[in-house]
Amino acid sequence: MAITAYQKCINPDCGAEFDRTEAIFKCPKCGDLLDIQYDWSKAKLPEKMEDFSKRWANRNQRLDFSGVWRFRELLNFCEDEHKVTIGEGQTILQQNDFIAKELGMDKGNVHLQYEGLNPSGSFKDNGMTAAFSHASLVGAKSCACASTGNTSAAVSLYAHSCGMKCTVFIGQGRIAFGKLSQAMDYGAQTIQIAGDFDDCMKQVQDVCSKLNIYLLNSLNPFRLEGQKTIMYRIIESLNWQVPDWIIVPGGNLGNSSSFGKAFKELKDLGLIDRIPCLAIINACGADTLSYLVNQRGLKWNSGWVESKEINSLYADFTAKKFSPHTIASAIEISRPVNLKKCLRSIEICDGLVIDLPDEEIKDAKAMVGKYGLGCEPASAASVAGLRRLVQDGTIDPGEKVACVLTGHALKDPDLTVNYHTKREGVLSNPPVEVPNDLDKIIDIIKA
């Protein structure tokens, strides 16, 4: 299969192009974000999306075991021998009629895309298989990332699976222990900075460029190519029907950026006939996207984004040492690196963004635990978002919705235990304390 991928700066004033074999992560000419583009006229694509599913049924070769590389023609940027896979993307879309009922949606219309089933327990693995394949293509020997936890877990796992040295930057006290334990167990060098995620993100970029280390955050455009497949699998599970809404938590905004790109490409290729609406959910304490879109009216505007607005807000945050705060530590980010690409997705998907208080996110998390497969706090922002958007009439009960549950329930058990034992929300379910006495135990169970 001919490889026609190249990198292109998203800034229409620049538009510089670079070979796929360069590891640059930002446009060397103007500093803007890079995209992966393809000459689709030379691509050998299946006639219909159903043909991708046959690969999973047959599993004729190594790559067919991956829920990412099953769709390889749609992210055709490297030769097969470079593809690094550990069986990522074998996730499920669960129709959840209990949650539909709780939220006032029609039966059959609420679906939860559970990305916690990935090898490192979060959606990040979809991106890592792609980025590590690119790292192998360019011959990288060491890699690094900044993280609120899941990226570091995923990077550490993929790095040791392909023998790369790995350094992860985390903000002191900003990471759930489930995630920290993964990075340490998988053998990463963990650098804990006296700062937050945004500080780590800044440091890691400088370190990577000074020491020629391969960067694995979602600034890396190859990573976002892998994350497109989350959308392919959602529509695959719906029999190749496009839902009305996709709802996703927003942090560094890699997912939302890649989802819009995925749908635009599929539509342009004639593989789908319409694009779903995209709702991105911020936490109130980390609401940069929501602020810029809803209060400052920022738009993609065919690439002519008012960058000044973004740059001055980010500079202001830096100058005032502003630090975001939310219990959903995975999305505790105030200077999201993909903001511009996310604005593009909002345009493509006729999307919106809202911000929600931690209490609503915690209650939604408990609901996903009670009625679904469970998830980590940030993931539940998608379900909390659905509740809000149904309540305010934005989403109709008759519309089909897929909420992306980005991370596994066991990533942040401390928050779950506190929610229940300290009776923090409407679904708190604390353990009952009983003396070590059979009659009393039976009484309680019967009651």
* Annotated binding residues for pyridoxal 5'-phosphate: 150, 251-255, 406
Out of 128, 266, 271, 330, the residue judged to bind ligand PLP by CB under 6 A = 330
For residue 80 the two structure tokens come to 């097969």
CB of residue 44 to ligand PLP, shortest distance in Å: 30
Specify the stretch interacting with ligand PLP by CB under 6 A; choose among 5-13, 180-188, 230-238, 374-382. 374-382
Per-residue interface string for the shown chain with ligand LJ64HWYM, residues 130-169, x marking contact by CB under 6 A: ---------------x-xxxxx------------------
- Binding of residue 133 to ligand PLP (CB under 6 A): no
What backbone phi and psi angles, to 5 degrees, belong to 216?
-115, 10
CB 6 within 8 A of CB 34: no
Q: Which residues contact 408 (CB under 8 A, 6 or more apart)?
A: 116, 117, 121, 122, 178, 374, 375, 376
- Binding of residue 330 to ligand LJ64HWYM (CB under 6 A): yes
The identity of residue 17, as a single letter, is E
Q: 147 touches which of ligand PLP, ligand LJ64HWYM, none (CB within 5 to 8 A by kind)?
A: ligand LJ64HWYM
Where do the H-state alpha helices sit in 59-103? 97-103
CB of residue 278 to ligand PLP, shortest distance in Å: 12
Q: 208 touches which of ligand LJ64HWYM, ligand PLP, none (CB within 5 to 8 A by kind)?
A: none
CB of residue 406 to ligand PLP, shortest distance in Å: 3
Per-residue interface string for the shown chain with ligand PLP, residues 81-120, x marking contact by CB under 6 A: ----------------------------------------
Q: 406 touches which of ligand PLP, ligand LJ64HWYM, none (CB within 5 to 8 A by kind)?
A: ligand PLP
The span from the CA of 203 to the CA of 267, in Å, is 38
Out of 406, 412, 419, 425, the residue judged to bind ligand PLP by CB under 6 A = 406
Which CB atom, from 171 or from 249, has the smaller least distance to ligand PLP? Answer: 249
- Binding of residue 251 to ligand PLP (CB under 6 A): yes
- Binding of residue 288 to ligand PLP (CB under 6 A): no
- Binding of residue 182 to ligand LJ64HWYM (CB under 6 A): no
The span from the CA of 197 to the CA of 213, in Å, is 19
Out of 89, 221, 226, 254, the residue judged to bind ligand LJ64HWYM by CB under 6 A = 254
Strands 110-114 and 34-37: unpaired
- Binding of residue 379 to ligand PLP (CB under 6 A): yes
Per-residue interface string for the shown chain with ligand PLP, residues 146-165, x marking contact by CB under 6 A: --x-x---------------
**Can you spell out the DSSP letters for 341-389?**
HHHHHHHHTT-EEEEE-HHHHHHHHHHHHHHSS---HHHHHHHHHHHHH
The span from the CA of 131 to the CA of 26, in Å, is 15
- Binding of residue 253 to ligand PLP (CB under 6 A): yes
The span from the CA of 447 to the CA of 437, in Å, is 16
Strands 189-193 and 352-356: unpaired
Strands 245-249 and 277-283: parallel
CA 382 to chain centre: 11
